[in-house]
Structure 1
């Protein structure tokens, strides 16, 4: 699951408009993998998550926090509005999330994708703002292996249960 999850996180960040050349991009991916492994890390972001990311990348936790904050800020200012609305319930008046809120929303969204919980999130292929077909969402779902709105992950290695 780690490789699939890493791909999903990377594609989601790409669709949100994050630049993969920013150091914080890799920190977010690694941090999300740690959170997917142990969700309690969301509540220990400064004491655990930043420290573990810093150890892995041989840097300080302050640099980790700053670089993640830079990516979150860039996404919030110039990212994919449709996807921001779906994942973060962003309205034009809402301020950008803290790093902790950002990780929590990504975790909840990705967990819902992988578990197929369509009641918690509506996974439309239409923009919630313009009500038009959303190419970004369609591409994102296809790239992470979701082929229909029921959001069941397709896994070529999973046993056939039909």
Structure 2
């Protein structure tokens, strides 16, 4: 989990955001079960909301917020580097999670 935290912090997302905790949990869940990447709204958000005792809408909003922070004020160069394709606009939550999960899987298989 430390490498997940390191990557997220390297992207410019600090622990002061509520979405930081949700993002850590989202990445952990997606690494355990790839089906979460296929059902962001139907599976992932409700699971995070259940675990964190939050509403689904706040989980969705707070995840979008940390992605926006990364895109606008964070390390966009690193995000582009690990995405393996040029990002012309801010990624969706699903795209963002896919980029991070894929990168972490590649790193652990090296």
Q: Name the TM tier (shorter chain).
A: over 0.9
Distance of 2:99 and 2:45 partners within structure 1: 17
In structure 2, the partner of 1:42 is: 37
Q: Given the two structures, how large is their TM-score scaled by the length of structure 1?
A: 0.65
- Once the two structures are superposed, the pairs formed by residues 138-153 of structure 1 within 5 Å of their partners are none
Structure index of larger Rg: 1
**Post-superposition CA distance 1:37-85 (Å, at most 9, x none):** 1011100111111001000110111100000000000100111133122
9, 13, 16: which one pairs with 1:21?
16
Identify the structure with bigger relative contact order (alpha carbons < 8 Å, sequence gap 6+).
Answer: 2
Distance in 1 between residues matched to 2:74 and 2:53, nearest whole Å: 29
Q: Distance in 2 between matches of 1:66 and 1:81?
A: 20
Matched residue, 1:157: none
Aligned equivalents of 2:92, 2:82: Cα separation in 1? 14
Structure 2, unmatched stretches of 5+, are: none
Task: State the TM-score, normalized to the length of structure 2.
Answer: 0.94
Report the Cα offset of residue 90 of structure 1.
4.1
Q: Measure the CA separation in 2 of the matches of 1:34 and 1:105.
A: 14
1:79 aligns with 2:74: yes
CA contact (8 A) 1:45 1:100 kept: yes
What is the root-mean-square deviation of aligned Cα atoms in Å? 1.1
Moved over 4 A (4+): none
Q: Would you tell me which structure has more helix in proportion to its own residues? A: 2
Matching residue of 2:5: 10
Gaps of 5+ in 1: 1-5, 117-162
